[in-house]
A = this chain, B = another copy of it.
Amino acid sequence: MDESTKVIMTLAKTAAKLTKSLDRCLSLHGISFSEYLVLDTLSQEPSKTMSRIALAESINLTASGVTRMLNPMEKLHLIEKEKNVRDARISLVKLSETGEEVYRDATTTLSQRANSQTAGLDKGEIKQLVRVLGKIN
């Protein structure tokens, strides 16, 4: 097995383990890691608002995956629906006040876990890793 294949396999396995661990730790806040990704993505938008398609794109899900995922999140008031005045096809998703709160709390928990997961790495390795991961694909 060549080095490229090895790195891809290692990456896949490492990430699978890692996200399961994140899932477990985020469950304290009543959300999954995928749901965290939604909150995270929305919170990075200045308007805290996005279309479902844009959201799907950014978290690597299909449009239908997003629809299914947002339904329970809306019931929990983590997000709100808004209409786009210009285009009635678009259903905008907005991060709610509650959603922002949950996001902040969850981020604290997640960061702690992330820090312990990367405890064996020094600062340089972490920076390098972010940089190199960005070059994949």
Cross-chain contact of A19 among B12, B115, B134, B135 (Cβ < 8 A): B12
Q: A17-B137, A115-B2, A137-B14 are in contact. Are A7 and B60 (CB under 8 A)?
A: no
Taking the closest CB of chain B, its distance from the CB of A38, in whole angstroms, is: 13
Contact pattern, A 46-73, Cβ under 8 Å of B = 1, otherwise 0: 0000000000000110000000000000
Given contacts A12-B15, A33-B12, A129-B7, contact A2 B111 (CB under 8 A): yes
Q: Which A residues are within 8 Å of any B CB, using their own CB?
A: 1-22, 33, 37, 40, 59-60, 107, 110-111, 113-115, 117-118, 120-121, 123, 125-130, 132-137
Contact A60 B129 (CB under 8 A): no
In the complex, A136 Cα to B125 Cα: how many Å? 11
- Provide the residues of chain B in CB contact with A123, threshold 8 Å: 3
Residue of B nearest to A127 (CB): B3
B114→A5 contact, CB < 8 A: yes
Of A4, A40, A120, A133, the most chain B CB neighbours within 10 A belong to: A4
* Structural contact, B8 and A114, CB atoms closer than 8 A: yes
CB distance from A14 to the nearest CB of B (A): 5
Contact B15 A118 (CB under 8 A): no
Return chain B residues, CB-CB under 8 Å to A11: 11, 14-15, 18, 129, 133
